[in-house]
Structure 1
């Protein structure tokens, strides 16, 4: 069991996810993305590695473990549902909704996110046009037999 992620831990996982693409992310790139010096990033990555969320590759490169990837994908879902809710329900502008969602998305239980998603009719994309990953609240797709 991984436990709860802090905002800081979540930011490192998102950094690796955003940078890495098809190859592991370099320490310098991760530090720059998070806005810290490489020694600070190295310490955080060591802790994430000891929790099984990050894997250190050769030459100071890092990738997400399977569990780390699962957590990042859940965080992306939370963020996109929350910002959609803030725009649709509270009428916030897209940038403000994104900024506010980033402040607490990591701490919101997925059960609440699923309820918000359902209440909005299961939106397929966020206000930026990015796809919202499916969650447990999505109704099963009906198969049409011919």
Structure 2
């Protein structure tokens, strides 16, 4: 599935909001987390819904579809592996890696990500202690 970096960021943010609790994310909370205007969220959520990645009714919370969840987990895996790689291989500290990973997660190929995972010995957690999803989308807690 091909999505834009912006769409991937929305999906990842929706996933992160519900990763540790069951309450779905509202458009206003999504806007605040992404640092964008509510109108921008409305437009993107409409696009994501049209693509079958989210479920959203006006003035209601946003939920991921099965396809949206799969893409969000894939992007979370990419992000967390890259954070781990930056700490272990390049000497970044845990509080420096997020912004770098935000850029790189959209740029590295799947092949390179697999090589990073191999090089790191298939880690279960990132430098922040968050679980890194496996290639099949499962998450070890």
TM-score where L is the length of structure 2: 0.85
The runs of at least 4 aligned residues of structure 1 exceeding 6 Å deviation read none
Q: Which structure 2 residue ranges, 5 or more long, are not aligned? A: 137-141
User: Which one has a bigger Cα radius of gyration?
Assistant: 1
Question: What is the CA distance between 1:28 and its match in structure 2?
Answer: 1.1
**Deviation readout 1:60-79 (Å, 9 max, x if unpaired):** 22101111100110111111
Q: Counterparts of 1:120 and 1:15 in 2: how far apart (Å)? A: 25
- Paired residues in the alignment total 134
Does the alignment pair 1:15 with 2:6? no
In the TM superposition, 1:21-60 aligns within 5 A as 21-57=21-57, 59-60=59-60
The residue number in structure 2 matching 1:6 is 4
What is the root-mean-square deviation of aligned Cα atoms in Å? 1.8
CA deviation vs aligned residue, 1:89-132 (integer Å, no higher than 9, x gap): 11111222222011221332222211111112111211111121
Residue 58 of structure 1: how far off its partner (Å) = 6.4
Cα deviation for residue 18 of structure 1 reads 2.5
